[in-house]
Amino acid sequence: MEYYNYIKALHLIFVITWFAGLFYIPRLFVYQIEAAEKPEPDRTILGDQLKLMAKRLWFIITWPSAILASAFAFTLLAMVPGWLEQPWMHVKLGFVVLLFAYHFKTHLIFKELQKGIINWTSNGMRIWNEGSTLILFSVIFLVIVRDAINWIYGVLGIFLLGIMLMLGIKLYKRIRSRNPNA
């Protein structure tokens, strides 16, 4: 237990950098999708630069952060095995599984875009981008609150957050359609 706080700090640092990558990579995807609609030579110049940026972000920051955050999490669970008996930890681990599913699907999107295969609209990718936000809010509130009774309010809050995010995306789309440079 002597190193508990150091392990916890490292876990949190890599969770933060993992989420930073998960927040930014879909934005790069949006820009890649929109660059593909531009005329030449902009399409090629922007496309190549955005692919390079996405590759560096994904393999230098996001993947290593996911692996290190997980390694430190397993270390913490080994140090405090009683957490595995707590209901809040079961729910948290469920969200972590959901986060990895999101990460792996994002990896598949990354691979497609690196090959120039575009199966998403820029608006669809903006909506996809909010998935990691919802998972982050869920996990943070769960870890801080840890009370099953408050989960009813937490679930309602997550739904409200999701609705607000979708409304924000629609509002942004409306503003952008009026002013393409916004």
Q: Which stretches does DSSP call E strand in the chain?
A: none
Domain boundaries defined on the chain: 4-178
User: Quick check: 69 pLDDT over 80?
Assistant: yes
Say which residue the tokens 């609150």 belong to.
145
Token pair of 112 as six digits:
């497609």
> What pLDDT, in 10s, does the model give residues 93-126?
999 999 999 999 999 999 999 999 999 999 899 9
Confidence at 46, pLDDT banded by 50, 70, 90: very high
Q: 4 to each of 9, 69, 70, 124, 142, how far by Cα in Å? A: 9, 14, 15, 41, 21
pTM score of the predicted model:
0.84
Give the pLDDT mean for 46-68. Answer: 98
